[in-house]
Chain A
Amino acid sequence: MDSKAETAVAPTRATAVAAYLNTLHTQLVGLPLEKQQEVREEVLQHIEALEEADILLGGTPEEAIAAALRQFGDPRKIGRQIAREWQLREWRRGGIILLKAFVAPVSYVGIAALWTTVMAVTSLMADGTTEDYALWLQRTYWLIGLEACIKMMQAAFTITGGAAPTLASPGYSPAHRPIAPPNPERRCLRLNLASLRPTLKTLLRPMNWLSLAAFSTIILAISSSVLGWPDEDYAFWLYRTGWFIGLDAFIKWMQEGTEPFIAKRKAKLKIFVERIQPSASIISRALGVTTKSASGPLDETMADHRSLPLNLACFVFPPLGLLSWLVLDGRSPGKARSAGRSAVRGTIVAIIACMFLSAWFLVNNAIFAIGKARLQPINPHLPMHSLRHHRKTTKFISLALPQPR
């Protein structure tokens, strides 16, 4: 009778260990599931090793397991310490990520401010008036500041939701799902910043933003030309659009991480390529690119050489390089690589050309402004602003001036 009662009351080895591990496990709040399992497994191995050592020294199995658990320590305290160490580091990491998220938009504001100042100064040199540009400058800074604030908030929420889980509830996402809370009675208020993630932003894909921005820019550019709006407003709008696109892409990149983002885009492009495969084959044949035929494998000796027409086309129109790479990779790797390299070179040349043109434009404006400052109007009563803006007009006036004797 007594022995029966003892068997019923005394926990078996397995239940004792399981109870110990469960107690420890419940404290591991905030750790990823895999990490929790890893800690559990590691502790189990350690306890088993302690148990074996005790048995080797002559202890009974019951005594050995009790001694091992005692030797290992209080499971609550150990679990809590592991979780605390982990969360401390996650906080630190989250803080660094958040700092980066705030620094990046601030740097954008810095670049924007610099660029605005350059534009304002050059405009001032060209026009000689200050009121309009002071207003314009103020408006620009205000808009940029407002946008930067919005973007910063979005970035902060996004990053908090995606990369720094401990800043929000410890375990809102599937990867950080909590186990049973240690004490359900002691629930504290936890901020779930993940719920504040911008849903509209998630719905509107960056490519849609890009298309919308490009479309609006074109419409505005055309309407500006037709209506004769001042050039600087159009340039300002273009510049702001570019800034928007850059920030959106940056946030999207942070939301998804670079690799999944690229993989997703590549997969989408592959689907697109598969759809246009017949056309691509025709184009490939026209460009002198041999693809693998259905009848047999590719004869590499004759096929995998770079194609000059294709490379030239990729150099002039770099997106074609990406398309060629997707179509040809795996069939003619040499051709694909060569086309890709040409596209990269084309892109670099285009960027350098754009930079050179921008610099030329700025220098030209400055020279023009300095030259104009020396001119005198034919009619002293004629206001100065009637002479500005147009180089031809200025030249004409310059020629019309009385020559010195």
Chain B
Amino acid sequence: MERELLKGNTPTMILAVLCQGPLHGYAIAREIERRSDNQLKFKEGTLYPALHALEYDGWIKGQWETTSQGRKRKVYTITQAGHAELKRRHHAWTEFANVMAQVIGGEPHGQQG
């Protein structure tokens, strides 16, 4: 998978994952892996710049919680503004993907004929 493509869409993926419910950083990484059938491999630390940026922008909200084992974890929840932003990004992405599919064709070049 293209690294730059992945990097640019990390915030969208985080928002999409958090749509299902509150999660901490580690769980977000696992959920993205699970949803992509382990095809998306990335350094997990790269999630944090995106997480903090989303939090600063008010699209997600972080809250420290203590687990049953007494461990502190920062759990992120998507906000109303985050839902709206995800909708906007989803729409933009779908539009872009459709246009790209039209431009580059439906199938890879080598498999035609």
Residues of A within 8 A of B (CB): 38-39, 41-43, 45-46, 48-50, 71-75, 77-78, 81-82, 84-86, 89
Instruction: Tell me if B53 and A38 are in contact (CB < 8 A).
Output: no
CA distance A41 to B26 in the complex (A): 13
Supply 13 A–B pairs (Cβ within 8 Å), ascending by A: A42-B25, A45-B25, A45-B72, A46-B26, A46-B29, A48-B71, A50-B26, A50-B44, A73-B43, A73-B45, A78-B46, A85-B53, A86-B56
Instruction: Tell me if B46 and A73 are in contact (CB < 8 A).
Output: yes
CA distance A116 to B50 in the complex (A): 52
Minimum Cβ distance to chain A for residue B25 (Å): 5
Count of interface residues, chain B, beta-carbon cutoff 8 Å: 19
A46-B25, A73-B46, A77-B45 are known; give 17 further A-B pairs, CB within 8 A.
Answer: A38-B74, A39-B48, A39-B52, A41-B72, A41-B74, A42-B48, A45-B71, A45-B74, A46-B29, A50-B26, A72-B44, A73-B43, A78-B45, A84-B49, A86-B52, A89-B56, A89-B57
B83 close to A (CB within 8 Å): no
B61 close to A (CB within 8 Å): no
Selected from A41, A48, A49, A72, the residue in CB contact (under 8 A) with B45 is A72
B24 close to A (CB within 8 Å): yes
Q: Which residues of B contact A39 (CB under 8 A)?
A: 48, 52
B73 close to A (CB within 8 Å): yes
- Type the 1/0 row for B34-68, where 1 means its CB is closer than 8 Å to any CB of A: 00000000011110111011001100000000000
Q: Which residues of A contact B53 (CB under 8 A)?
A: 85-86, 89
Q: Which residues of B contact A38 (CB under 8 A)?
A: 74
CA distance A332 to B25 in the complex (A): 52
CA distance A73 to B50 in the complex (A): 14
Q: Which residues of A contact B45 (CB under 8 A)?
A: 43, 46, 72-75, 77-78
Residue of B at shortest CB range from A48?
B71
CA distance A42 to B47 in the complex (A): 12
Instruction: Tell me if B74 and A82 are in contact (CB < 8 A).
Output: no
CA distance A74 to B29 in the complex (A): 17
Minimum Cβ distance to chain B for residue A166 (Å): 12
Instruction: Tell me if A45 and B52 are in contact (CB < 8 A).
Output: no
Residue of A at shortest CB range from B25?
A46
Selected from A42, A85, A86, the residue in CB contact (under 8 A) with B74 is A42
Minimum Cβ distance to chain A for residue B22 (Å): 15
Q: Which residues of B contact A82 (CB under 8 A)?
A: 48-49, 52
Instruction: Tell me if A78 and B72 are in contact (CB < 8 A).
Output: no
Minimum Cβ distance to chain A for residue B15 (Å): 15
Instruction: Tell me if A78 and B26 are in contact (CB < 8 A).
Output: no
Q: Which residues of A contact B43 (CB under 8 A)?
A: 71-74, 78
Minimum Cβ distance to chain A for residue B111 (Å): 34
Q: Which 8 A/B pairs are nearest by Cβ-Cβ distance? A: A73-B43, A73-B45, A81-B49, A78-B45, A49-B26, A85-B53, A72-B45, A82-B49
CA distance A38 to B25 in the complex (A): 13
Instruction: Tell me if B48 and A45 are in contact (CB < 8 A).
Output: no
CA distance A177 to B45 in the complex (A): 24
Q: Which residues of A contact B29 (CB under 8 A)?
A: 46
Selected from A45, A84, A86, the residue in CB contact (under 8 A) with B26 is A45
Q: Which residues of B contact A48 (CB under 8 A)?
A: 71
Minimum Cβ distance to chain A for residue B31 (Å): 13
CA distance A41 to B71 in the complex (A): 11
Minimum Cβ distance to chain A for residue B106 (Å): 35
